[in-house]
Amino acid sequence: NGWIKVQAVTDFPIDRLCTAGIRHLKPAKKRAPRQIVLIQGKHRLDDEYLVQLQDVTEREAALNLRGSTLYVREEHVTPQL
């Protein structure tokens, strides 16, 4: 299906994980993050979310992301009112 389970560690999980846009992904064993597009996301349980990332459509590709950190850079954050 292309959905990846993630744990939210943010004060604004809906904005960060359920709103399409540019995100950054830092694999566990790499030094530098890479830009990636969040296609969509949805809340599952408590601090658990499901997200779809561009170019991550196969199960094997999703499994390779285990331990990675998905985040939003400050310049891509929508200001909170």
In tens, the pLDDT along 6-51 reads: 999 888 888 889 999 999 999 988 889 999 999 999 999 989 999 9
pLDDT of 53: 94
Rounded to the nearest 5 degrees, what angle is found at the Cα of 67, between the Cα atoms of 14 and 7? 25
- The pLDDT value recorded for residue 42 is 94
**pLDDT in the model for residue 76:** 64
Burial readout 65-79 (b: 16 or more C-beta within 10 A, e: otherwise)? beebebebeeeeeee
What is the value of pTM for the model shown? 0.84
- Point out which residues pair with 4 in neighbouring strands: 51
Residue 60 DSSP one-character state: H
Task: Look up residue 14 and give its DSSP letter.
Answer: H
